Amino acid sequence: MSILHVTTTGSDRADGSADAPFRTINRAARAAMPGDTVRVHEGTYREWVRPVRGGVSDTLRITFEAAPGEHVAIKGSEVVKDWVPEGEGVWRAEVPNTLFGDFNPFDSPVVGDWLHPGPGGILAHRGDVYLNGRSFYEVHSREEVRAPERRTRTRYPWTALETDLLDPDQTVHVWFAEVSDDVTTIWANFQEADPNAELVEINVRPAVFYPERSHLDYITVRGFELAQAATPWTPPTADQPGLVGPNWAKGWIIEDNLVRDAKCSGISLGKNAASGDNFGYERGDKPGYQYQIESVFTALGQGWDREHVGSHVVRRNEIRDCGQNGIVGHLGCVFSTIEDNHIHHIGTKHEFYGYEIGGIKLHAPVDVTIAHNRIHDTTLGIWLDWQVQGTRITRNVLYRNIRDLFVEVAHGPTTLDHNVLASPIAIELFSQGNAFVNNLVLGAVRMQAVLDRATPYHLPHSTQPAGYAFVYAGDDRYVGNLFVGAHHGVYGPDAPLVLAEFPPESFGTHAYEGAPGTWQEYLDRIHSADGTGDHSRFHLERQPAYVRTNAYADGARPVSHEESPRVVASEAAVRVVDDGGEVWLEADLPGELVAPISGVVTGADLGRVRIAGAGYENPDGSPLVADVDVVGTRKAAGTLYPPGPLAGLTGGSTRVRLW
């Protein structure tokens, strides 16, 4: 095992030793063998790193790392100089197309399944312009470059919220490009800045650290700034390259990096093109839903299993300013752990719109653990879709998003414990088989059946399908959660969201009103449907909602069949305070609201989900125990604790550091 060195003053004709380092990371990647470390030294490297081999096990991996204490940036961009002024803050640059090679992002639109063009069918492009590291907004004519809009509002069809795209007091920088045979001409409005005196970059590469071949396993990427890639739209039915990612492999570790300014997706744990690539968009003969089903079964025939794919670790990264996803992945994310990441400003530029945008957007996250992440200022914090089974979302802090959590067309078991959900829409479920344990919920709770899209479920802890089913709504569990009304959290007059009116039943577990409260009541209802066919009678009945020992204040309401709810009329106030480097929970609560109410919850307490027939377990099959709170305090068995994610929460005024 050896260490190969890379410096900005090295030579690719050298041997990679400390005394004779390589010049490029790609040269070191060609030399690295299993067990080797590529150590990259201070500086900016403008290349697309494409490993040619991986490791052979977790103990014989290939590691790419920034030298300790040194800042190393790997960028998918190039510097552009010689800007020509055209007045009113507008400058022009002519970029030879030879800079781009075979791929010109300014001539490549953002397209694919589940993506909707803007007004008039206008498509955004994968190109981008950056001034001192900050990306511009694309406009679609030279006239708009001269007079950019200072404020725009967009209403999304899936939510009752509006969002401000731009701060009215913020300087607006925009660009427009025209591509000819030889030259790409870019016009950009730099306002008061002089682009010839500042750092101006444009993205030219589709990725920064991403293999061209699949199944290069056991690679570590550590300690870099990875930035400015012209990544494509990554729906679950397409090839899913990110700014950084394994490209359908096993056992990667992506840790301690700054990942920023991917046009679409930052970190990808997703599938490749072999199981389908935007066929719904390209062919138009079937819905994307059908092609997604086909991609699952195609991938199974190509080795989608624990032995060949997944088991990645993504930890301690800051992921920001990506247009579609901070972390994305269909199929390839299985058995992975995503923990201790700071994910923010994802999908907030709104240059394009589609149904695959979120801080974390995973399809088929079988046995995935999402733990202790800080997620804010996104259109949607965590969005889990299809085949969400054996998944655990624990100890995360979500706030200042349009929506915090969305679980769609999945059957569970999915465990969500000790999270802080503080955005206007805290929980949205088009799914079943979810268990909510000891969460703090400050926003609306919404749920809905889906009887027109059947999705697969699996044998426990496996990618092997066991069947597929519709979502009947319900089969959910709520134990020990703290619901505090509609008007607390971090959103408000200074936040980028405007909260529309929600009916009172949106807060708490009241959305389950009318559902059976027990398994026996559900069976009685099903079997009393005289004259109704074996199949259709299940469609007519909601599944049980198992709800007990939750606490409610500030207008949040329990479902009427809840066992031992605690409803407090006294004034209660909770908010999440973001100080930049730290996040605090500030609360002023009546003591009766947060008196001990429930003990440590285990998988045995939660039972089995109806459709998948599986219990709430850890990925290794051992019993699930929800005994660690949001700040890392371990709870003792046999002891009662307050509702919510903090084991030590008390009445009165409190201030607790969450991050």
- For residue 170, name the pLDDT band (cuts at 50, 70, 90): low
Return d(Cα 159, Cα 233) in angstroms, integer: 22
Place of tokens 């907030």: 348
HSE-up (13 A, CA, CB side) for residue 358: 21
Given a cut of 50, is residue 496 above it in pLDDT? no
Q: What is the pLDDT of residue 399?
A: 96
Q: Is the dihedral of CA 291, 338, 116, 125 positive or negative?
A: negative
Per the structure block, which two tokens stand in for 239?
Answer: 């090839």
Closest CA to 442 of 477, 383, 487, 409: 487
In this model, does residue 465 exceed pLDDT 50?
yes
CA 274 – CA 295 distance, rounded (Å): 9
User: In DSSP terms, which residues pair with 580 in a beta bridge?
Assistant: none
**From start to end of 109-182, where are the E strands?**
115-116, 129-131, 134-135, 137-138, 153-155, 162-164, 174-179
Residue 299, CA atoms < 13 Å, CB-side half-sphere? 34
* Sheet of 573-578, strand order: 573-578, 583-589, 652-657
Tell me the chain's radius of gyration from C-alpha atoms: 25
Which of 349, 309, 362, 363 lies closest to 332, judged by CA? Answer: 309
Reply yes or no on whether the pLDDT at 648 is more than 60: yes
**From the CB of residue 558, how many other CB atoms can be counted at a distance below 10 Å?**
23
CB atoms within 10 A of CB 9: 8
Q: Where in the chain is the domain with CATH 3.30.1910?
A: 1-74
Tell me if the bond preceding 413 is cis, omega within 30° of 0: yes
* Token digits of residue 568: 């407090």
Per-residue pLDDT at 535 exceeds 60: yes
Per-range mean pLDDT, top range of 92-101, 140-149, 158-167: 92-101
pLDDT of amino acid 504 = 66
Query: % helix / strand / coil in the chain, to the nearest 5?
Result: 10, 35, 55
Average pLDDT over residues 508-531: 91
CA distance 541 to 546: 15
Nearest residue to 436 via CA among 370, 480, 387: 480
How far from chain centre, in Å, is Cα 265? Answer: 9
**What band does 190 get if pLDDT is binned at 50, 70 and 90?**
very high
Coil, helix or strand for 641? strand
Q: What's the average model confidence in pLDDT over 61-77?
A: 98
| pLDDT value for 486 | 60
**Which segments of the chain belong to CATH 2.60.40.1180?**
77-203
* Biggest CA pair distance of the chain: 84
Give the dihedral sign, CA 446/447/448/453.
Answer: positive
- pLDDT confidence tier of residue 171, bands split at 50, 70 and 90: low
The amino acid that residue 302 corresponds to is Q
| Percent with pLDDT over 70 in the chain | 93
* The pair of three-digit structure tokens given for residue 560, joined into one six-digit string: 């009427």
At 490 the pLDDT is 42
**Does residue 162 surpass a pLDDT of 60?**
no
SS3 category, 525: helix
pLDDT category at 167 given cuts 50, 70, 90 is: very low
Judged against a pLDDT cut of 90, whether residue 156 lies above it is answered with no
Report the distance separating Cα 659 and Cα 639, nearest Å: 26
pLDDT band per the 50, 70, 90 thresholds, residue 499: very low
- Structure token digits, residue 213: 């071949």
The Cβ of residue 103 has, within 10 Å, a number of other Cβ atoms equal to 12
Residue with tokens 């619901």: 483
Band (pLDDT 50/70/90 cuts) for residue 168 is: very low
Nearest to 489 by CA among 556, 425, 407: 425
For residue 132, give both structure tokens: 């001192």
pLDDT digit string, tens, across residues 95-131: 999 999 999 999 999 999 999 877 678 899 999 999 9
User: Residue 204 and residue 559: Cα distance in Å, rounded?
Assistant: 54
User: Using 50, 70 and 90 to split pLDDT, how confident is the model at 364?
Assistant: very high
Q: Give the tokens for residue 440.
A: 């703090």
Average pLDDT over residues 495-507: 59
The answer, yes or no, to whether residue 501 has pLDDT greater than 80, is no
**CATH, domain range 77-203:** 2.60.40.1180
In the predicted structure, residue 493 carries a pLDDT above the cut 70: no
Q: pLDDT-derived band of residue 536, with 50, 70 and 90 as boundaries?
A: confident
What does the pLDDT read at residue 148? Answer: 77
- Smallest CA-to-CA distance from 445 within 513, 505, 401, 517 is with 505
Pick the closest to residue 107 from 206, 236, 239, 227 (CA basis): 206
User: Token pair of 465, please?
Assistant: 């399908």
Three-state secondary-structure class, residue 167: coil
pTM (two decimals):
0.95
SS3 category, 314: strand
**Surface-to-core class of residue 567, CB atoms within 10 Å of its CB (0-12 exposed, 13-18 middle, 19+ buried):** middle
Query: Are the CB atoms for 259 and 317 separated by under 8 Å?
Result: yes
- Measure the N-to-C terminal CA separation of the chain; round to a whole number of Å: 38
**Over the chain, what is the mean pLDDT?**
93
**Fold classified for 1-74:** so0334 like fold (3.30.1910)
pLDDT of amino acid 575: 93
Best CA proximity match to 650, nearest among 508, 482, 486: 482
**Residue type at position 350:** H
Residue for token digits 């802090």? Answer: 397
Question: Is pLDDT of 206 > 70?
Answer: yes
Torsion of CA 500, 450, 414, 218, to 10 degrees: -100
pLDDT, tens digit, 9 for 90 and up, residues 293-343 = 999 999 999 999 999 999 999 999 999 999 999 999 999 999 999 999 999
Instruction: Categorize the per-residue pLDDT at 502 as very low, low, confident or very high, splitting at 50, 70 and 90.
Output: low
Please, which residues bridge with residue 378 across strands? 346
> Mind listing the pLDDT tens digit for each residue in 13-62?
999 999 999 999 999 999 999 999 999 999 999 999 999 999 999 999 99
